Structure 1
Amino acid sequence: MSRVFHLTPPGERARTEQPAPAPVPEEPRAGIVAGYLAPHPPHLIYADNPPQNEPRSTGGWEVLRWAYDEVRRRIRDLKPDVLVVHAPHWITMVGHHVNCVPNPRGVSVEPIFPNLFRYHFDFRTDVELAEAMVSSFEEHGLVTRAMREPGVRVDYATIGALHMANPRWDIPVVSISANNNPYFYADAELEQMDVLGTATRVAIERTGRRAVLLASNSLSHLHFDRETELPEDMGREYAYNNDQYRADMKLLEVVRSRPSSALRTAIPEHIEASEAETKSGSLSWLLSALDWPDTTGDILGYGTIIGTGNAVVEWLPDGSRRG
C-alpha cells in the first residue's frame, strides 16, 4: 500500500516533469530539391488571365492548369532559393548561353500567337549562380556564353514555364538556352545534355543554392495550322493524331513505372516515333542534373494544346520523399 500512495517530493517531481528540449531543426539541404517537366504553350498563360498578359480569355486547358496549381503548391513547400529553366525557344546556334542580366524587363510576344501572348515580364536573376554556371559549363568542355545585354528579350518558353510554376515571380531565376544547332536535326547530341546537366548540378552545389529545375518541353509537337474562332474552344482540342498520342503514352508509361535511368533510351525512342520537342534536350538536361534518380516520375497532368502533347511531371532527387 505504501508504494501505491507514495508521493514524489516536490523537487523530484519538478525534475521528472521537465519537458524534453525541442529538437533543433535541420538546415535545409542545398542542391537540387526537385525537377519538373514544365511545358510552355502560350495558351496556358492566356487561359490563366494574369495581369501581365494583355489578351483576355474565358479559360480552357483546365487539367493542365490544375496540374500547375499543384506544382505551385509543391514549390512553396520546398522553399527554393532559385528556379532554373532550360527552354527550347531561346535558340542559340553556337553554344549554351546563360542569362546573367540582373533584372530582365520588357514584353515577350509569341510570334505565332501574338493574339494570345503579349506578356510584360520583370524578374530577378540569381547572377551569382548564373555566373557560376557559365564557369562550370566551360570547365566541363561546353561552348558557353554569358548573356549580359540589359535589354535582353526573354523568349515565351522561358516565361511560360516560369509563370506557370511561380506566377508571383518572387523567387530568383536562372535561364539557359537551347543549343538547337545539333538538337533540332537529330537526337545524337542528347549526350551533350548529360554534360550540361552535370555542370548545372555542380554550379548549384558550389553556390549552396536550393534549386528547383524546370524543363520547358512539350512531348509530341505536331500542331494544327488553323486556329478556331475562339482559341479556348475545348470542343476542338484533341491530339494531332493517334500515332503522336500513343508515342506520348508509351513514354509516360516509362516515366510512371520505371526509374528515370530507363528514360535514357525511352526519350530517343520517343523522338524517333513522334515529332518531339524533347529533341531540344530540356528533359534530358533535367534528369541528368538530378543524376538520373532511381525513382519514378509523378505525373500531375497530361493534355493536348492545338494538338501537341503536354505533361506536367515531378521528379525528386534520390533520398527525397513527397510527404
Structure 2
Amino acid sequence: MSRVFRLEPSAPERDQAKGGIVAGYLSPHPPHLIYADNPPQNEPRSTGGWEVLRWAYDEVRRRVRAMKPDVLVVHAPHWITMVGHHVNCVPHPRGLSVEPIFPNLFRYHYDFRTDVELAEALVTSFENHGLVARAMREEGVRVDYATIGALHMVNPKWDIPVVSISANNNPYFYAEAELGQMEVLGRATRKAIEQTGRRAVLLASNSLSHLHFDRETPVPEDMSHEHPYNNSQYRADMALLETVRTKPSSALKTAIPEHIAQTEAETKSGSLTWLLSALDWPATTGDVLGYGTIIGTGNAVIEWRCHD
C-alpha cells in the first residue's frame, strides 16, 4: 500500500516558520467509525452509520489540512504501559491491527511514518520533567486501534508524520488521582515540540462516558439501536460539554475529575488532560464539532485552537 510522505524541512526552513502546537483535538477512536467509513485499509465492509461523528471528523480533516502541520502527536488510552510513558520511535510502523472485542469491524492494515527526531526529543523531555519514560524501538510491534483510530479519522491519507504516546496504566486503577502527572506530561510535550521547531497538531484519543452495551445488534451499523447507555451518563457528558462550550479550558481542571466521578469515563486515562496541559490551558472555549454515542458510549469531537 503506497503512501506519499512530506519531506523533512531543512533547518533554515524550520527557523523561518514558528514552531509549536497549532491546535488540539479530542479525537475519540471507537473502531465503528473506521468500519463505517469503509477505507481501503480496513477489511470489513459496512453500509455506513454514526454519520454525525464522521461528519465532525470531515470538518477536522479540512481544518488540519489548512494548518499544514509538520506532525500529528497522539495520546491513546489503549496503548497501555504498566510502567511509565512510552513513545513510539519506530521509523516506519506497518502491519495489521485487529480490535480484540470487535474483530468483525476492525482489521486495519497500517503503514505510516514516525517523526523520530521529535519522538526521541519527547522521551528526553519527559525524563527531564521527572517522569519515567521509554523509547519503543522494536520493529514489528503492533500499533493499537486507539492510536490508529484517531490518526485515521483525522488524516486518512497518512501523509503527515506522527508520534504516538502510551497511556500509563495507573489511571485505570486510580481514576483522577493521576491527572496531575498528565499535566506534567503535557508541559513536557509542549517543551519538546517547541525545541524541535515543529508545527504540531495534538490528538487526545478519548471517549467521554464509557459504559457500553454487552450485546451487538445483528447489523452493527443499524442506528435504530444506538442511544446513550443511560440518562445519567448522557447528562454528565452534556454537563462537561457545556463547560467546554461556555468557559475557558481552565474550568475543565475541575470539570474533568467531576465527570470521572459521575461516569465510567475514559478520560481517566489522561489523554484529554494531557492535551489541555500541552496547550497551556487556553483561555478560549472549545469548539464542539459533534457528539454521538457508539454502542452507548459518549463521544465528542472538539477543537481547541492556538492563536499566534
Give the shorter-chain TM-score range: over 0.9
Q: 1:298 to 1:101 in 2, by over 3 A?
A: same
Q: What residue in structure 2 maps to residue 32 of structure 1?
A: 21
Any idea what the Cα deviations from partners look like across 1:1-24, whole Å, max 9, x if unmatched?
xxxxxxxxxxxxxxxxxxxxxxxx
Any idea what the Cα deviations from partners look like across 1:161-218, whole Å, max 9, x if unmatched?
0000000000000000000224433211100000000000000000000000000000
User: Structure 2: how far apart are the matches of 1:201 and 1:211?
Assistant: 9
Give the letter aligned to residue 222 of structure 2. D
Does the CA contact (< 8 Å) of 1:87 and 1:217 recur in 2?
Answer: yes
User: Structure 2: how far apart are the matches of 1:58 and 1:182?
Assistant: 36
Q: What residue in structure 1 maps to residue 219 of structure 2?
A: 230
User: Structure 2: how far apart are the matches of 1:289 and 1:164?
Assistant: 21
User: Structure 2: how far apart are the matches of 1:275 and 1:122?
Assistant: 33
The 5 A counterparts of 1:1-323 are: 27-317=16-306, 319-320=307-308
Report the CA distance between 1:114 and its aligned residue.
Answer: 0.1
Report the CA distance between 1:152 and its aligned residue.
Answer: 1.2
Report the CA distance between 1:27 and its aligned residue.
Answer: 4.9
User: Structure 2: how far apart are the matches of 1:216 and 1:70?
Assistant: 17
Gaps of 5+ in 2: 1-14
User: Structure 2: how far apart are the matches of 1:171 and 1:76?
Assistant: 10
Report the CA distance between 1:30 and its aligned residue.
Answer: 1.1
Q: What residue in structure 2 maps to residue 10 of structure 1?
A: none
Q: What residue in structure 2 maps to residue 9 of structure 1?
A: none
Identity %: 84
User: TM-score of the superposition, structure 1-length normalised?
Assistant: 0.90
User: Structure 2: how far apart are the matches of 1:70 and 1:180?
Assistant: 32
User: Structure 1: how far apart are the matches of 2:128 and 2:239?
Assistant: 37
Any idea what the Cα deviations from partners look like across 1:131-163, whole Å, max 9, x if unmatched?
000000000000001000011100000000000
SS in 2 for 1:111: coil
Does the CA contact (< 8 Å) of 1:38 and 1:312 recur in 2?
Answer: yes
Any idea what the Cα deviations from partners look like across 1:7-46, whole Å, max 9, x if unmatched?
xxxxxxxxxxxxxxxxxxx954310000000000000000
Instruction: Return structure 1 stretches of 4+ with deviation > 6 angstroms.
Output: none
SS in 2 for 1:212: strand
109-118 vs 173-182, greater mean Cα deviation: 173-182
Does the CA contact (< 8 Å) of 1:40 and 1:156 recur in 2?
Answer: yes
User: Structure 1: how far apart are the matches of 2:152 and 2:278?
Assistant: 22
Corresponding pairs, count: 294
Looking at CA atoms only, which structure, 1 or 2, has the larger radius of gyration? Answer: 1
User: Structure 1: how far apart are the matches of 2:213 and 2:171?
Assistant: 26
User: Structure 1: how far apart are the matches of 2:173 and 2:34?
Assistant: 26
Superposition CA RMSD, Å:
1.0
Any idea what the Cα deviations from partners look like across 1:258-294, whole Å, max 9, x if unmatched?
0000000000000000000000000000000000000
Report the CA distance between 1:111 and its aligned residue.
Answer: 0.2
68-77 vs 183-192, greater mean Cα deviation: 183-192
Does the CA contact (< 8 Å) of 1:183 and 1:189 recur in 2?
Answer: no
Does the CA contact (< 8 Å) of 1:183 and 1:281 recur in 2?
Answer: no
Does the CA contact (< 8 Å) of 1:107 and 1:121 recur in 2?
Answer: yes
User: Structure 1: how far apart are the matches of 2:33 and 2:305?
Assistant: 24
User: Structure 2: how far apart are the matches of 1:180 and 1:310?
Assistant: 22
SS in 1 for 2:175: coil
SS in 1 for 2:52: helix
